[in-house]
Structure 1
C-alpha cells in the first residue's frame, strides 16, 4: 500500500479547521473524506473504511466519544485520533477508554499533525498481515488485534494493546524504558504520560498473564520500564 492510497476521514464541525486540515493532508498525498457532524461522520467512516480517522470530540448530532465507541462496537479497528481542546489527564484516559488510538490537543501545529500521521502510517505501510508471534500458550495475530489461546479461545486487543505487545514480542527479553515505549506506541511528539502507559500495561497483563498480580511474562523493571520474558 502506498501513502497516496491511505484514506483519512476528517470529522470536524469547524469549517475553517476542517478545510485547513483536509487541504494540507491532500497536499501530503493522502485521500481525504470530510464530515461536519457525528452521525454523518460515522456513516462516512463505515462506508469508506479509512485507515485513519481524525475525529473532533465536540460534534453536533453525536459527540466524538460516542462515535468512537459506536465504531469500535461495529468492529472498526483502524486508527482513530481524537482532536480536542480537552487537555487534562482524566480526559485523555477517558478517550483511551472509549477506543481512541491517539490524541492531539487543539490548537495544534499543522506540521505536528502531519508528522504524527506519517508516524502512524509507517506502521500501516510496513505491517505484515500474515505475521504471527507465538509465546507461552498463545499466538498473537497483530493484523486482527487478537490473541488465540491453545484451546482456540480468541482474546481481542485494543489497537494500543496490540501495538505494545507487538513491540515487546519483537524485542524479547530486552529491558525497554518507558520513554522508548511511549514513542513507539503513541508516536511523534506525544504528550501521553507514564500513568497512561502503565494503565495499558495493567490491562494487557490481564489478557496474557495467568496471574496478572504476579506477572511472569510482562515484568516491571523498577526505575526503567518493562521486560517481556520469552524464556
Structure 2
C-alpha cells in the first residue's frame, strides 16, 4: 500500500508542477493578451480577440494534442525534448496558452468595470496612463477579479489531469494503471488529493477576499 501511495504522490507532483508553472506564466501573459484585445489599434485587437475566441472555443484536450503532436505531423520536427520532460513542457505550454486567454477576459472585465470617472479624476490630477493604471485602477481591479480568478484557478487544479492525454504520468493516469489490474481504491483515493488541494485554495481565496473588504 505504501508503494502505491508513493507512486500516487509522485503523480500528483506532476499535477502540481503543471499547476504552478501555468499560474506563473499565464497570469502575466493573460494581462498582455488583455491589453492586446483592448488596443485601439484595430488590426491588433481583432487578431488577439480572434485568437482568444479560438482557444476558448476548442477543448483543452485537443489543444494538448495539437501542441504536442502538431509540429511533428506537419513535418516541422518536434520542438520538445525527448522523454517525460518533453511531454511535461508541451503540457505546460498548452495550459499556459489556454488559461492566459481565459484570464485575459477576466482582466478585461475587471478593467472595464472600474468607473470611467476614476480615469478622468486621475487625468485631472495630471497622472499619466501608467500611473492611473497602477495607482488607481489596479487595486480596484484586483478586488473585482479575485472571485472569478479563484474559480478559474480551482478549475486549473482539476484540469491538470488532462495532461495524461499526452502520456504525462499524473496522478489519475497512475491510479488508472492499478485500476486496470483490478485494484480500484487508488483511483478513488485520487479524489482526496484534489479535495485537499482545492480546499486549501478555497480557504486562501476566502482569506484574500476578506483582506480586500476595505474597497467596499
Q: Who wins on radius of gyration, i.e. which is larger?
A: 2
More strand by proportion, 1 or 2?
A: 1
Instruction: State the TM-score, normalizing by the size of structure 2.
Output: 0.26
More helix by proportion, 1 or 2?
A: 2
Instruction: State the TM-score, normalizing by the size of structure 1.
Output: 0.24
Larger RCO: 1 or 2 (CA < 8 Å, sep 6+): 2
